Structure 1
Amino acid sequence: MANPSPPCVLTFAGTDPSSGAGLQADILTFASIGCHPLSVVTAITAQDTVGVEGVLAMDAEWVNDQARAILEDVQISAFKLGLLGSVENIAVIAEIMADYPDVPLLIDPTLTSGRGDDLSNDEMMEAMTTLLFPQATLITPNSLEARRLAFADSDNEIAHTSLDESAARLLAMGSEYVLITGTHERTLEVTNTLYGENQLIKSYQWERLVGSYHGSGCTLTSAIAACLAHGLTMEEAVAEAQEQKISGLYAITPDIENTNLLLAKVEAALQGGANVLQYRNKLASHKLKTQQARALLPLCRQYNVPLIINDSVKLCLTLDADGVHLGADDGNLAEVRARIGDDKILGASCYNRFDLALSAQQAGVDYVAFGACFASGTKPNAVVASLNLFRQAQTQLAVPTVAIGGITLENASQVIQAGACAIAVINALFATVDVKTTSEKFTQLF
């Protein structure tokens, strides 16, 4: 029987008043993946969304007292370390970690802010590499930090070394795995690379977003820690933490034969903030489905929204759509996952059954859908799904949940408050006079 309580993840980190990074970002990330967040403050920072103006390290005794108090009371499923503040703090935390050798330890070695403000000195780096890295399950430096940590004894090597060489050195320091993130490299795509057992395990390529962001390293490491706390393997956790998450308004197309009208309505929904689009037309021929889905794909690409195909794995692969959603009778989920690969989104309808959700997660889905949550005009004979399913999912599932069935602007807040990550809407969105405004109203509920 699954544990009714969410796994607890403890972060040691500095504060960030903007919540884009640091302790606040860790807490938000843990909670979003169904973990109970715990925290130890290592430093207080003065910063905004652009950079760090100052750091006040906590006294090491206070760090120790904070940690020991919570550790004597709560069982921890994973540790995450961020900005640690001082050599003394690093030494104290290393002693604490030594008492919990079986709990995964993830380290985001925060050497600088996103803007480049120094957050660690040479003494802190040496303490980190000698006291903490030998105990680490995973360290997650960006490419600049990886080179700096690996070749701290040779400034000439830092600028010329490869990331593979850096990873080899970092693994030799004792960490079981190293994930080097590539946001600081001058490449068209962002490449994150996982190393372990003295070899490259897997590289992950992602489209580089326009603009500059801080806190991506904090969030990624926290997400991996949360996934490990849920029992995923390291490779599974790293992949899951990087996947595009299903959240917000999940728009499902209505049965419209006129493709131009369909495109106009969908674009209005995307302009209003819909985060996901599922193409579904139960009345269309295979030819029309192919035509409409093919027409929707570039529109979704334009708005950076994934296009998920309902029921048809074949159509998804033919068009190279972003994913597929399947019902209970649409195929074996594990076989479909193997067929479409890890890069595409796989969703599953679980109706009113939590056991189906647990099985779907085990099979490798990216989200599960429960419904009908309310009386549905699209499926009047659908089973009724209790909102308690979403509350249960918050503690027992690592994948997002989607609420579907009879959802309107009037009742959507009920499923969101119950814990649904996304709401799937058809008629209450596309049957309205002003689809864009309706989409905006749904989006504002989150």
Structure 2
Amino acid sequence: MTRYPIILTIAGSDSSGGAGIQADLKTIAALGAYGASAITALTAQNTTGVRAIHPVPPAFLQEQLEAIFEDLTVDAVKIGMINTVEVAMVIAGILDRFQPGFVVLDPVMVSTSGSKLIQDETVAVLWKELFPRVHLITPNLDEGRILISEKIDSPESMKAAAEEMVCRGCKAVLLKGGHLVAPVLYDFLAQKEEDTLTLESDYIDSDNVHGTGCTLSSAIATFVGKGSPLAEAIIFAKGYVSGAIAAGKDVKTGFGPGPLNHSFSPIPMQVIS
């Protein structure tokens, strides 16, 4: 029997479709895998901002996750918006119970429009209960500053910050530098007992970057779930995101930062044995 590579996204819903669960599922499908989802929170938002957040009851999140893991062979997991301590604890328990082979956590804390998406007390729980359990976290600069309470404003401070997060208990950290506007952008991949990898990409002038972090983390999960080593998966995922930004940069969707073009070069659904 053959089956599809299955990628599970655990994240919040974006009613405008550009980020969160919606962006994740578009990405997973565009990269030739099968997407499953468990929703942590509902948001009322559009391209101009987040109007309201309605957390999913933790017991119902547990039901969603158990239903998925008890039936589907999950090849990789992407975790996004976790805005309460109770949700974080449910996810930690599920990871211990089902032991998925790869988990990437995008610590979504601030939306593209600047809205705060996480409770203060949840940050400490991420450090204690989730970061040690996942294989990679993918903070941007704003999230990195929140996580280590330090100034991060240059490639040198980015590299040091990524390495500091590993020292504090993360297995691997991809610190993203997209908020440092420059002709060349830098990301840093720090891992335990390995040299830090510097990743470069050209800056693309576009206002349509809503959901970029969600897209990158779900792309990484998809490539790892399909068999790529971590560093290779990150390089492939960055290439996909750059292509999606370039393909959507001149398209108007709403009055604020629009979405990427997730379907600019779709890969047919693959099967594995």
TM range, smaller chain: 0.7 to 0.9
Contact 2:10 2:80 in 1 (8 A): yes
Question: Is the alpha carbon distance of 1:197 and 1:74 closer, same or farther for their aligned partners in structure 2, counting shifts above 3 Å?
Answer: same
In the alignment, residue 235 of structure 1 is paired with which amino acid?
Answer: A
Aligned length in residues: 251
Which of 210, 219, 225 is the aligned partner of 1:229?
Answer: 225
Question: Is the alpha carbon distance of 1:178 and 1:246 closer, same or farther for their aligned partners in structure 2, counting shifts above 3 Å?
Answer: closer
Q: Specify every segment of 5 or more residues in structure 1 that has no aligned partner in the other structure, as ranges.
A: 152-156, 249-274, 276-302, 304-366, 368-389, 398-446
Query: Partner of 1:194 in structure 2?
Result: 189
Quote how far apart the aligned CAs of 1:166 are: 1.5
SS of the aligned residue for 2:221 comes to helix
Question: Is the alpha carbon distance of 1:129 and 1:187 closer, same or farther for their aligned partners in structure 2, counting shifts above 3 Å?
Answer: same
Quote how far apart the aligned CAs of 1:209 are: 2.1
Quote how far apart the aligned CAs of 1:396 are: 3.9
SS of the aligned residue for 2:131 comes to helix
Query: Partner of 1:206 in structure 2?
Result: 202
Distance 1:245 1:84 in 2: 23
Percent of paired sites with the same residue: 32
Quote how far apart the aligned CAs of 1:95 are: 0.7
SS of the aligned residue for 2:10 comes to strand
SS of the aligned residue for 2:35 comes to strand
Contact 2:172 2:189 in 1 (8 A): yes
Query: Partner of 1:296 in structure 2?
Result: none
Which of the pair has the greater relative contact order for Cα pairs under 8 Å at 6+ separation? Answer: 2
For the aligned residues, what is the CA RMSD? 2.6
Larger radius of gyration: 1
In the alignment, residue 395 of structure 1 is paired with which amino acid?
Answer: Q
Quote how far apart the aligned CAs of 1:207 are: 2.1
Query: Partner of 1:177 in structure 2?
Result: 172
Distance 1:48 1:62 in 2: 25
Query: Partner of 2:255 in structure 1?
Result: none
SS of the aligned residue for 1:12 comes to strand
What's the TM-score once normalised by structure 2's chain length?
0.84
Contact 2:77 2:103 in 1 (8 A): yes
Query: Partner of 1:144 in structure 2?
Result: 142
Matched, 1:158 2:137: no
What is the CA deviation profile of residues 85-141 of structure 1, one whole-angstrom value per residue up to 9, with x for unaligned ones? 311000110111112335201000001001111111221111111100001111000
Distance 1:105 1:113 in 2: 22
Which of 88, 91, 95 is the aligned partner of 2:93?
Answer: 95
Query: Partner of 1:243 in structure 2?
Result: 239
Question: Is the alpha carbon distance of 1:159 and 1:34 closer, same or farther for their aligned partners in structure 2, counting shifts above 3 Å?
Answer: closer
Quote how far apart the aligned CAs of 1:147 are: 2.2
SS of the aligned residue for 1:26 comes to helix
What's the TM-score once normalised by structure 1's chain length?
0.53
Contact 1:192 1:203 in 2 (8 A): yes
Distance 2:184 2:51 in 1: 30
In the alignment, residue 170 of structure 1 is paired with which amino acid?
Answer: M
Distance 1:211 1:117 in 2: 17
In the alignment, residue 91 of structure 1 is paired with which amino acid?
Answer: M
Contact 2:18 2:211 in 1 (8 A): yes
Quote how far apart the aligned CAs of 1:212 are: 4.7
Query: Partner of 1:278 in structure 2?
Result: none
Which of 5, 16, 19 is the aligned partner of 2:17?
Answer: 19
Quote how far apart the aligned CAs of 1:238 are: 0.4
Off by >4 Å, runs of 4+ in structure 1: 244-248
Quote how far apart the aligned CAs of 1:180 are: 1.1
Matched, 1:29 2:27: yes
In the alignment, residue 190 of structure 1 is paired with which amino acid?
Answer: L
